[in-house]
Amino acid sequence: MMGLTVEDLLQIEQANQISLICGEKGLKNEIKGVTIIEAPDIVHFITGGELLLTGLYAFQSCSLSTYKTYMYELQKKNVSGIILKPGRMVEDAESKIAWLKEFAEQESIPLMEMPFELSFQSILSTVMERLFNEEVTQLKYYKTTHDNFMALAFAEENEGHRIEDILAMLEKLIGNPVALFQQNMRCYACSGEEPFAFRILPGVKPYDPGILTNYEYLVQRDGEQTQYIVQLDLNVGTKMYLVIAEQTSEFNPMNCIAVENAIVSLQYEFARAFAVSELEKKFQNDILYSILHGKNMPIEELKKNIALIGMDLDSSYRVMVFGITGDIWRKRNFNERIFYLDILEEAVRLCMPECKIHRETDRIVAVRKENPDTAQSEYRRDLRQKLERIQANVLQHHRSLQVKAGVGKQVRGLTNLPETYHEANDAYLFVDIAGDAVGDRVGDNKAQMVLFSDLGIFKLLCQVEDPKALMEYVPESLQKLFEYKKPQRDDLIVTLKAYLDHNQNLSKTAQDLFVHYKTAAYRMEKIAKITGIDFDNANEILAVRIGLVVYQMIGNYNKKSQEE
């Protein structure tokens, strides 16, 4: 609610002798202080919103030009009003008062007059009493809300729902729905059953809460709804937005007092939850590390440990390994890599909440309980959808980051996890070794995944790290194309790959490469002349396909060696 306004002052019995001269449009101005103008330079000492009391004696010897300058400086401080007390000799008083009336009307500053018999002290006392009473009310309200939120934060019941409880209490206090949003504008929690829509709009503006605060308040209009936004740093590396939707009652400084106390409780709760979460993560990480790496432990101890993290001994599981690839990742230093790995872990936890997460130095390992009756095609489709969501989350932090995933086979029994874990790692490494040759592109050519079961013969070839040894798997006809030293060689290799990918269809090859049909036909004639490939021989075409992938593997090995 608004504090003491000029209009309120004129209705107080002790001020009934004050009359309004002009500036009626400013009657709703809030009075935040009261000052007597004893000297022209008082403008340097006021903070804004003051009610000014003057007999113009401070300007008794000023020229009209200087007098106007002082008044314009006062206007910049957004004074709430001016009370004029005539009676003392002031040079050129009539001209100054006449100009002041025009100025006050123009700037919507209420200009009032009080009788000579009425003392400034009586007005000072009246205004200060009201202001001080308002401050006492705010202090009492602060203590009441503080005690309520602290009692809620330390309550033993409703464990795990304290964030929602804090927001629900805040809604009761301010009479408007509230919600907590993450940096990506995803609703983390809200006071009602359904969150309202929220996004930062171009027209968002700073908002003065009318109280002392350590937070930044913003206000915006979204359709028919005004939203008040508080940007929060919750002291655990998490930034969020606390958003109040002005739907039922007007947002005011008393509401801000409740908001400030709610923020303190939220900070405490997030700090508590973060500490508990970190302990749980470390405990789970240690157990999963032992299982994934085949560390021996007594069966009873194993059963006890996996029960604590919600796993069982005889179910079916599959391991997935996630990481980040691309030049932007390779160029980052260690601390920046840790930062982006944090983002990836958060995205995996968000998009695959059913998984148990294990974190390694440069990758995230997810262990998921599987239904053995689920078809491979259904699992692949589900994983593609989840990987696309993970990629979308990561892209919100950096547009150049690409997520890659290696997927192991499904195994029966927890003790067989090392097998699917090693397969997932091999598939994960193959993303970098063979690029997109066998990988499955997901989400607008950003994320990429490889299932170990899709590798076929490459399960053996990815274990060969000597480029010379790999070259033995490239057919002689294809080697002739690689040895072709003219500038067109790379275009010819790309064209050959596209031609085989499109089952030797020249029209589709041309469309895929964005070249004319005759250009594609010319290139294929050139390839046939250089290599002597028999495109009607299925066995030779299979060998050429394998050779193209091996050639890409050799290129990646050479590139990796140069980087090292």
Q: Locate 252 and state its tokens.
A: 């005011």
Instruction: Convert the pLDDT of each residue in 178-203 to its tens digit.
Output: 999 988 788 989 988 888 889 899 98
The answer to the question of residue 1 being in a domain is no
**Pair (407, 428) in one structural domain:** yes
The CATH number of residue 270's host domain is: 3.30.450.40
Amino acid sitting at position 336: E
- Cα torsion 177, 181, 186, 187 to 10°: value is -40
**Pair (414, 548) in one structural domain:** no
Pair 232, 129: CB distance under 8 Å: no
User: For residue 75, what pLDDT is reported?
Assistant: 86
The chain-wide mean pLDDT, for the chain, equals 83
Instruction: Convert the pLDDT of each residue in 213-259 to its tens digit.
Output: 888 999 999 888 899 999 987 655 678 899 999 988 888 888 888 89
Neighbours of 333 (CB within 10 A): 8
Amino acid sitting at position 68: K
Which residues, 6+ apart, have CB-to-CB distance to 159 below 8 Å? none
SS3 at position 418: helix
**Pair (324, 191) in one structural domain:** no
**Pair (308, 457) in one structural domain:** yes
**Pair (424, 520) in one structural domain:** no
**Pair (169, 70) in one structural domain:** no
The answer to the question of residue 150 being in a domain is no
- How far apart CA 482 and CA 548 sit, in angstroms, is 10
Domain that holds residue 17: 6-132
Secondary structure element (H or E) that encloses residue 81, with its range = strand 81-84
Secondary structure element (H or E) that encloses residue 492, with its range = helix 489-501
**Pair (360, 447) in one structural domain:** yes
**Pair (232, 161) in one structural domain:** yes
259-280: average pLDDT: 82
The answer to the question of residue 148 being in a domain is no
Q: Which of 91, 117, 132 is the last residue of a domain?
A: 132
The CATH number of residue 540's host domain is: 1.10.10.2840
Pair 394, 401: CB distance under 8 Å: yes
CA-wise closest residue to 32 among 77, 84, 83, 85: 77
53-79: average pLDDT: 84
**Pair (439, 553) in one structural domain:** no
0.75 surpassed by pTM:
no
- How far apart CA 270 and CA 232 sit, in angstroms, is 12
Q: Which of 433, 463, 493 is the last residue of a domain?
A: 463
User: For residue 438, what pLDDT is reported?
Assistant: 54
Reported in sequence order, the residue ranges of 400-514 that DSSP labels E, i.e. its strands, are: 402-407, 411-412, 440-442, 447-451
- Has residue 68 got a pLDDT over 70? yes
Residues facing 227 on adjacent strands: 220, 245
User: For residue 456, what pLDDT is reported?
Assistant: 73
Q: Given pLDDT bands bounded at 50, 70 and 90, which one contains residue 27?
A: very high
Domain count, the chain: 4
**Pair (477, 418) in one structural domain:** no
**Pair (438, 297) in one structural domain:** yes
**Pair (269, 342) in one structural domain:** no
Instruction: Convert the pLDDT of each residue in 121-174 to its tens digit.
Output: 678 778 887 887 766 767 767 777 777 777 667 665 545 567 888 888 888 888
